[in-house]
Structure 1
Amino acid sequence: MPLRSTEKWPHGAIMLDQDHTRFALWAPDALQVSVELGDDHSIPMLPQADGWFVIQTRCPAGTRYRYCIDGRLQVPDPASRAQDGDVHDPSIVVDPNAYLWQHTGWQGRPWHEAILYEVHVGLLGGFVGVEQHLPRLAELGVTAIELMPLAEFPGDRNWGYDGVLPFAPEASYGTPEQLKHLIDYAHSLGLAVVLDVVYNHFGPDGNYLGEYAKRFFRDDRHTPWGAAIDFPRREVREFFIDSALMWLFEYCFDGLRLDAVHAIEDSSFLIELAQRVRHLTPAGREIWLTVENEHNEAHLMQRGFDAQWNDDGHNALHVLLTGEREAYYADFAEQPTHKLAHCLNEGFVYQGELNRHGKPRGEPSGDLPPSAFVLFLQNHDQVGNRALGERLAHLCPPDALRAATTLLLLSPMIPLLFMGDEYAAEQPFLYFTSHHGELAELVREGRRNEFSHFQAFANAERRTRIPDPNAESTFNDSRPLPDSAPAQLSQPWPAFYQKLLRLRQRELFPRLRGAVALDARVHGDGALTARWRLGDGSCLRIDLNLSEERISLELPAAGEHLLISSPEPFDPDHLAPFTALVSLTLPDHKDLPHE
């Protein structure tokens, strides 16, 4: 099999047939590279143009291998599809066609039907453990699970944002085939599966690229995690785009959520990634692309991305629910009700206004549809970045949480739940890793010093209460289900969620395409009314009161257009404390369907 010097080399080990594999490594700083197969077979790789080393050889699936750089440094494949152990161990040749898909007719779901449920795979027992929860989530009314990052990370306990091998599913969670079976089974239940991917940095342990491909990074640009990745460089750009395409088309994920894209200075990379995905997606298949973006760059939702996680909406709601005003909540401390109203009416709160640091943040978003924003009350960041990982069930009154949940699940924005939300889980979600030695000490002290500017942890002795991220107990204490047993849907909180999600599916799904915001009016601290024109011309109205005061308000007539009141019954003359009312007025005053 002769090599063609003009070929675009895909990164990693690509099986050409059942017995042959092509290995390609971009190593522009290396003089020599060999691939070591098994324990004792080393094959020199052929140097190619632009710093590539390539070889095609007899090598079946399941073979362990690693690269040797200049006869001195043994490294795993940075595009490893699976690891034989941890990030420093050999990689494994993977046959992408080994798994036989059972539900090949699955085409995904339209974005407006997304009801996302964020999951940490390790806390639920790996890929096999997550499968056990899928029937319950489908019955609850969830339509998609969103998996926190799976890329191979150091150790076997991690949030996933320390990944260093972005093509390899974490070995402690299961095999590539087990991950595919999880996705296949989810599809059989009507559940889409989304993957959170981290393309803005590599973790602090196990990334060898700087040893033989220094041009992967930029010395003149830095992120919170170190030297910035050089996305304008073609080889680097293709590395991450190939990873994204692998997850979507080999593993059949239904979408990707790109983590912290504000740390990727070259937005043309994001746009090219989206364009490549859209170009390769067959007609009829639905693929979702979302971002987390501190910069609120609304233009990305007009260049191939479906939505952005709306931290602004969360932050305004969190201030109203808890009264907390430290750190980034300071940007929402003044007039939080007006900020929430602005979010419900136009998407982002910050659309170019100055933040607490005196810097402009955001782009105008009023012309985007409500579905361009993913709204949430909790997620891994907003809970896990707290010193003690407390959930909202510990931080606000139950009735206030029910009212906010009603807004979350019945607004036209795309709702996201964090695992355990559906039964007001009391277990914390803490920050955990499994580093060792000096790195473990640095992470532990860094974590505690993070909170030194918070009044509750200004004292060094108080900061020792912050759990050690590397302790196994920190991981175990974060498991969201007591005794790993799924909560019964008949319990009050799950039953409440199920009722709201069934309403969303029955009343809103058929009407969400083409929805636009009409207005949002503030009635007092914590109280507002928001209205949207839905795609069929009907009007959705949500009256919300997160305060302890009764608000005089002309409310929808009971029984006519009211979808739900939380709590029930409601006072027709006042909006009671901690209340949400959701009503729908149909065009031409048509009757609403009955339960």
Structure 2
Amino acid sequence: MDFSFGPVLSPDAALFRLWAPLHEEIMLVIDGEPPRRMERSADGWHRLRVDGAGAGTRYRFRLPDGLDVPDPASRHQPEDVHGPSEVIDLAAYDWTSTAWTGRPWEEVVLYELHIGTFTQEGTFRAAIDKLDGLKEVGVTAIQIMPISDFPGGYNWGYDGVLPYAADNSYGRPEDLMALVDAAHQRGICVFLDVVYNHFGPDGNYLPLYAPLFTENHKTPWGNGINYDGDNSKPVRDFVIENAVSWITEFRIDGLRLDAVHAIKDNNGEHLLVELARRVRESAGNRHVHLVVENEDNDSDLLTRNADGSVPLYTAQWNDDIHHVLHIAATGETFGYYADYAEDRPEKTARALAEGFVFQGEHMPYRGEARGKPSACLPPTAFISFIQNHDQIGNRALGDRMIVSQPLEAIKAVAAVYLLAPQIPMLFMGEEWGAREPFPYFCDFNEELNEKVRKGRREELSRLPGFDAEDLMDPTAKDTFSSGTLDWSQRETPEGRALLDFYRALLTLRRERIAPLLKGVGGGSGRFDAKGETLSVTWTLAGNRRLTLAANLSDTPASLASPDENGAVLYALGTLEGSQLSPWSVRWTLA
């Protein structure tokens, strides 16, 4: 694909380009050379071909007021977001996994990780050394939290301002390519979390020379991105080509689009539709999967074609499944969990069978109705989990469940989501019971840091602990460092025992359940609940019936709707007569 943004390399020169319609004159500043005036065209593009420029050249653009800014499509920022951009020849990387075409969606077991805290080194290269361990436990896809260049030394990644450039603290572009290459050699897909609903508060120079924002739409971060107003086409192309770049130039296997409910667009073809279409066109015959996070639970984005193929988005992170399983394991009913506490076994069964718990019903915590019908979708349209970066990081202490909850409860909810027909997602370290917190962290200037501290308290004030005087400082380096995984704990007796538990479940999933997921359509699940127990049955490929019976409580309970004809695939706890012991999970296949 020919990209609109960033330098174009030829054997002996580089063509530099910047869309800056708000200015008549832009100067190109190459390190060590006098500034050069760029040639402006009527559509607001400024271009200049420079002989002798190429890979390694560092450059900036100078605005009429004398401010030097990086290339918004920079592929590498060796001196962070305020420094010069470096020309990168992405075609120079020598790929070894050339035959890789990805994995079918039903084979995917996701593993969310943050590059900066996944290893002590916090780099792409260091992450390669951990891939064999992930493969051993049954992970088939890593999902990397956002890497677009952000200001400072550490960040969750959702404050990126240069979406084409991986943050330099993680390594160079070829280091990311090496990680993708190494993952593919091991049969592991690589997904990337991308943010197209806002830009971070520090280092975003685009509004100084282009109409990036619009007052027609409001978001939690301020004015919305201009996807549908005057001069919006280059803005749309900027983010869509970014998505295509990750898929084609870096050979990423899938994207997770952050908070798509905050992407506002009144065009005829919504940005999300155009992005999905163009990404899929660029992927050719590869298996490429697109995932959304969507607070609105808009099932329309997940529709299937008549033949079961995916025209838009493959799946959505399903917070509903997380919430009901979290309440079961912890008993916590504060904040947004309160809407899921009443009739929790029935809500759990509905989430597993149909996807969303709320499919248009009113939610008191939100103060409005939420969701659209989802039973018409296959179970693989939903991604289930018991932990992720948000659900841990939005706690006052960033603490994981295992720190405060009994192991039998955690194993019970894990045995539910790891074997259910939805696509499971682990959070880094979960498989060995990592006890490190994962708090929110960022590194801005002091003025912005203070706004973050105050904003976190206000935004999450309805959750416990955010009024404490000793609340963790999200801008402190110690807060960031506290989230770094201690891989030595993986080799302790407790760590190995939990690893064996996860490995056994994921092996069972790979061998007995995943082969039955291909081609499964909507309406495949039916559910029942009785007291503290729940029962869900899915009709899968070959008319096989997969049934879950579970007692996700600490007291014995009578079984709901037993499936007496199924052969037991897996059992945790005991069944005596019709009584399930506490924290019992029973999977059968008929």
TM-score range (shorter-chain normalised) is over 0.9
Which residue number corresponds to residue 497 of structure 1? 502
CA contact (8 A) 1:429 1:478 kept: yes
Equivalent residue, structure 2, for 1:508: 513
Question: What secondary structure, in the 3-state scheme, does the structure 2 residue paired with 1:219 have?
Answer: strand
Question: Would the aligned equivalents of 1:28 and 1:51 in 2 still touch at CA under 8 Å?
Answer: yes
Instruction: Give the match's secondary structure for 1:536.
Output: helix
Any residues of structure 2 matched to 1:442-591 within 5 Å, and which? 442-458=451-467, 462=468, 464-482=469-487, 491-515=496-520, 517-525=524-532, 527-553=533-559, 555=562, 561-567=567-573, 570-571=575-576, 573-585=578-590
- Aligned-residue Cα RMSD (Å) equals 2.0
Q: Structure 2 vs 1, CA of residues 399 and 483 (structure 1 numbering), >3 Å: closer, same or farther?
A: closer
**1:591: which partner in 2?**
none
Partner of 1:588: none
Check the 8 A contact 1:488/1:494 in 2, yes or no. no
Q: Deviations over 1:142-172 (max 9, x none)?
A: 0000000010000121000010000001100
Consecutive unaligned residues of structure 2, counting only runs of 5 or more, are 304-310
TM-score where L is the length of structure 1: 0.92
Q: CA deviation at 1:53?
A: 1.1
Provide the rounded CA distance (Å) in 1 between the counterparts of 2:499 and 2:110. Answer: 16
Partner of 1:311: 319
**1:225-251 Cα deviation digits (max 9, x unpaired):** 121101121111000011001100000
Residue aligning to 2:292: 291
Shift of 1:571: 3.5
Q: What one-letter code is carried by the residue in structure 2 that aligns with 1:335?
A: D
SS at match of 1:185: helix
For 2:240, give the aligned amino acid: I
SS of aligned partner of 1:49 = coil
Over 3 Å counting, the alpha-carbon distance change for 1:32 and 1:489 in structure 2 is farther
Helix, strand or coil at the partner of 2:90:
coil
The alignment status of 1:38 with 2:25, answered yes or no, reads no
Q: Within the alignment, does 1:174 sit opposite 2:171 as a pair?
A: yes
Aligned CA distance change for structure 1 residues 487 and 533 (closer, same or farther; 3 Å): farther
Deviation at 1:301, TM superposition (A): 1.2
Q: 2: distance between equivalents of 1:35 and 1:483? A: 50
Residue 411 to residue 179, structure 1, CA distance change in 2 (3 Å): same
Match of 1:189 among 144, 167, 186: 186
SS in 1 for 2:291: strand
Query: What are the within-5 Å matches in structure 2 for residues 122-521 of structure 1?
Result: 122-123=116-117, 124=119, 125-213=122-210, 215-232=211-228, 233-266=232-265, 268-283=270-285, 285-302=286-303, 303-356=311-364, 357-458=366-467, 462=468, 464-482=469-487, 491-515=496-520, 517-521=524-528
Show the counterpart of 2:8.
14
Q: What residue in structure 1 maps to residue 307 of structure 2?
A: none
The number of equivalent residue pairs is 569
Alpha carbons 1:512, 1:535 under 8 Å: kept: yes
Q: Contact 1:119–1:145 at 8 Å: present in 2 too?
A: yes
Maintained 8 Å contact 2:315/2:380: yes
TM-score by length of 2: 0.93
Q: Distance in 1 between matches of 2:370 and 2:257?
A: 19
User: Contact 1:434 / 1:470 at 8 angstroms: preserved in 2?
Assistant: yes
CA shift digits 1:342-363 (9 cap, x unpaired) = 1112111122111224322111
Cα separation, partners in 2 of 1:61 and 1:224, compared to 1, 3 Å:
same
SS at match of 1:57: strand
Give the superposition deviation at 1:8: 8.8
| Displacement of 1:335 | 1.8
Contact 2:60/2:85 (8 A) holds in 1: yes
How far did 1:71 drift? Answer: 4.9
Decide whether aligned partners of structure 1 residues 136 and 582 sit closer, same or farther in structure 2, where only a CA change above 3 A counts.
Answer: same
Return 5+ residue gaps in structure 1 as ranges: 1-6, 586-595
Q: Please, which moves more after superposition, 175-184 or 27-36?
A: 27-36
Structure 2 distance, partners of 1:170, 1:404, is 35
SS in 1 for 2:302: helix
CA distance in structure 1 between the aligned counterparts of 2:116 and 2:493, rounded to whole angstroms: 22
Deviations 1:47-90 (A, max 9, x none): 11222112222211110001001151110011111112110000
Match of 2:49 in 1: 56
C-alpha deviation, 1:455, in angstroms: 4.9
For 1:207, give the aligned amino acid: N
Q: CA deviation at 1:479?
A: 1.2
- Compared CA separation, residues 324 and 490, structure 1 to 2 (3 A): closer
Distance 1:484 1:439 in 2: 36
Which stretch has the larger CA shift, 380-389 or 540-549? 540-549
Summarize deviations over 1:265-300 as a string: whole Å, max 9, x none.
Answer: 2271001011011122222x1001000000111111
**Could you tell me how far apart the structure 1 residues matched to 2:254 and 2:496 are?**
32
Asked if 1:94 corresponds to 2:88, the answer is yes
**Per-residue deviation at 1:322?**
1.7
Measured after TM superposition, the shift of residue 98 of structure 1 is 1.4
Report the alpha carbon displacement of residue 573 of structure 1 after superposing the two structures with TM.
3.8
- Whichever residue aligns with residue 154 of structure 1, its letter is P
Deviation track 1:103-156 (CA, whole Å, cap 9, x = no partner) reads 100000001111000010011221011111100000110000000001000012
* 1:563-589 C-alpha deviation (Å, 9 max, x unpaired): 11124x55454211111111111xxxx
Whole-angstrom distance in 1 between the partners of 2:476 and 2:73: 30
Alignment of 1:68 with 2:75, yes or no, is: no
Q: Percent identity?
A: 44
Q: Bigger CA drift: 480-489 or 194-203?
A: 480-489
Distance 1:454 1:168 in 2: 35
- State the 1:491 CA deviation: 1.2
Q: Spell out structure 1 runs of 4+ moving beyond 6 A.
A: 484-490
Give CA deviations for 1:15-60 in whole Å, capped at 9, x if unaligned.
2x23222222111111210111123232211111222112222211
1:529–1:181 CA distance, 2 compared to 1 (3 A): same
Answer whether contact 2:547 2:563 (CA < 8 A) is retained: no
Contact 1:385 1:431 (8 Å CA) reproduced: yes
| SS of equivalent residue, structure 2 residue 192 | strand
* Alpha-carbon spacing, 1:21–1:306, altered in 2? closer, same or farther (3 Å): same
Q: Contact 2:395/2:463 (CA < 8 Å) preserved in 1?
A: no
8 Å contact from structure 2 (residues 354, 525) kept in 1:
no
Distance (whole Å) between structure 2 residues aligned to residue 201 and residue 145 of structure 1: 24
Moved more, 87-96 or 474-483: 474-483
Distance 1:449 1:98 in 2: 48
